[in-house]
Amino acid sequence: MLIHRPPMGWNTWNTFGANISDKLIRESADAFVEAGLKDAGYKYIVIDDCWSKKLRDPDTDRLVAEPQKFPDGMAPVADYVHGKGLKFGMYSCAGQRTCADYPGSFDHEFLDAETFASWGVDYLKYDFCYKPGGIDGRLLYRRMGMALRASGRDILYSACNWGSDDVWSWIRSTGAHMYRSTGDIFDNPASYRKIVLSQLDKLGTSAPQCFNDMDMLTVGMYGSGLVGTTGCTDADYRSQFALWCFCSAPLMLGCDIRKMSGFIRDLVTNKDLIRVDQDAEARPPMAARHPWNEDLLTLFKHLDDGTYALGFFNLGEEEGEAVATFSDFGLPAHAGYDVSVRDVLDGTGESVYREYMRVKVPAHDCRVFIARLERR
């Protein structure tokens, strides 16, 4: 199964945890389309942990959907999602139990993949809790990779071992299409910053067919829901979303999409930011820090049409003036080119810079530009 671009969608976990149901999925699928997410390129509706009965069916050994949450089982939920022109995702775990203590797929990989395929599942997130001691975790991801292929259905394989065992160095070989590279995100500025800073130098192996997954976004949660904690400001959400886009990370929303504000909807459907995320080449950004203010981060990313994405991020508590020195990214002063930029967040037109560019960035916020070279 070919996955050319980082997957885009929505996942239940960040906001709803165990409070999931047939009704929630249908309402969210409706809201997904109404909010313009589908038109913007989002595709997957994914049910995370806590969807099954606590034990397998004693006769068939199969996983069973919890009847109080999903009274008609999973197939009609998948049908509903498909009816909206979207794809349907589910969750299981490589260990004996899932992280929230439901049955995992250990030693049931082929049976479970068959079950998921029979329900119409298009995406499987595969977690890493309760792995039996003495078994190599890499083997378990290999097993599910084979099982999904054997299932006869195209199922996107979303591995989630939190970055353990140097995941980036072997996961592509298992057939996975994306791999979680860090522990869980929480809805506060320190959490998303820690995640992105831990991955900036590990994006070299994130590429078409298998992308580094920096976890579901908390954009739009404002401190509510399961991973809510303190919440973030709009400036932080803008930064978080843009950082994920610079990294070509999967864009899996985690807020309650039935209640998204206009600001959040506009942010997560911003055509230029999504274009940066979905760039066909998926090149990692080059990163530079301000010479004496560590909080100011500049990212520069090649895009497939010969332009560049240029981002200034203020990870600190005070307004700062961020700088891009073009020679840091491969454009020396003697090359004979200036850089013309267009602001993708405030929509202002082109301005031209020579050798370097400085911009004021409020605390927690960012500025993002599409840049192109212009011969002097």
The phi, psi pair for 112, rounded to 5°, reads: -70, -40
127 scored as a contact of ligand GAL (CB under 6 A): yes
184 carries an active-site annotation: yes
The answer to whether 341 and 310 are in contact (CB under 8 A) is yes
Site for ligand GAL in 144-163 (CB under 6 A): 160
Shortest separation between residue 119's beta carbon and ligand GAL, angstroms? 19
Contact segment (CB under 6 A) with ligand GAL among 95-103, 188-196, 300-308, 332-340 equals: 95-103
126 scored as a contact of ligand GAL (CB under 6 A): no
Q: Is the CB of 8 or the CB of 322 nearer to ligand GAL?
A: 8
Contact segment (CB under 6 A) with ligand GAL among 97-105, 200-208, 251-259, 295-303 equals: 97-105
Q: Is the CB of 183 or the CB of 231 nearer to ligand GAL?
A: 183
30 scored as a contact of ligand GAL (CB under 6 A): no
Q: Is the CB of 100 or the CB of 288 nearer to ligand GAL?
A: 100
Shortest separation between residue 81's beta carbon and ligand GAL, angstroms? 19
> Could you give the CA distance from residue 254 to residue 228 in angstroms, rounded to a whole number?
10
Amino acid code (one letter) for 28: S
13 scored as a contact of ligand GAL (CB under 6 A): yes
Q: Is the CB of 102 or the CB of 353 nearer to ligand GAL?
A: 102
Among candidate residues 30, 184, 328, 338, the one labeled active-site is 184
Q: Closest residue (Cβ) to ligand GAL?
A: 99
Q: Is the CB of 35 or the CB of 124 nearer to ligand GAL?
A: 124
Q: Is the CB of 37 or the CB of 217 nearer to ligand GAL?
A: 217
Q: Is the CB of 131 or the CB of 238 nearer to ligand GAL?
A: 131
308 scored as a contact of ligand GAL (CB under 6 A): no
* Element housing 139 (H / E): helix 137-150
114 scored as a contact of ligand GAL (CB under 6 A): no
Burial of residue 47 (CB within 10 Å: 0-12, 13-18, 19+) is: buried
Residue 195 in tokens: 């995640």
365 scored as a contact of ligand GAL (CB under 6 A): no
Q: Give the HSE-up count for residue 97: Cα atoms under 13 Å, Cβ half-sphere.
A: 8
Cα torsion 49, 55, 58, 61 to 10°: value is 30
184 scored as a contact of ligand GAL (CB under 6 A): yes
Does the CA dihedral 245-155-104-136 come out positive or negative? negative
Among candidate residues 22, 48, 122, 127, the one labeled active-site is 127
Burial of residue 85 (CB within 10 Å: 0-12, 13-18, 19+) is: exposed
Contact segment (CB under 6 A) with ligand GAL among 92-100, 112-120, 137-145, 364-372 equals: 92-100
Among residues 29, 43, 48, 311, the one that binds ligand GAL under rule CB under 6 A: 48
Shortest separation between residue 276's beta carbon and ligand GAL, angstroms? 24
Shortest separation between residue 1's beta carbon and ligand GAL, angstroms? 22
The answer to whether 220 and 228 are in contact (CB under 8 A) is no
Distance of CA 236 to the CA centre of its chain: 16
Amino acid code (one letter) for 216: M
213 scored as a contact of ligand GAL (CB under 6 A): no
Shortest separation between residue 51's beta carbon and ligand GAL, angstroms? 11
Spatial CA neighbour of 74 closest among 59, 91, 54: 91
* Cβ-based neighbours of 215, under 8 Å, separated by 6 or more: 180, 182, 184, 185, 195, 252
Tell me the site size for ligand GAL, rule CB under 6 A: 10
Give all strands (DSSP E) within 193-234, no chain letters. Answer: 211-213
| Residue that the structure tokens 């929509």 belong to | 347
Buried b (16+ CB within 10 A) or exposed e, 280-315: eebbbbebbebeebebbbbbbbbbeeebbbbbbbbb
Among residues 45, 74, 99, 273, the one that binds ligand GAL under rule CB under 6 A: 99
- Name the site residues for ligand GAL (rule: CB under 6 A): 13, 48-49, 98-100, 127, 129, 160, 184
Q: Which residues are catalytic?
A: 127, 184
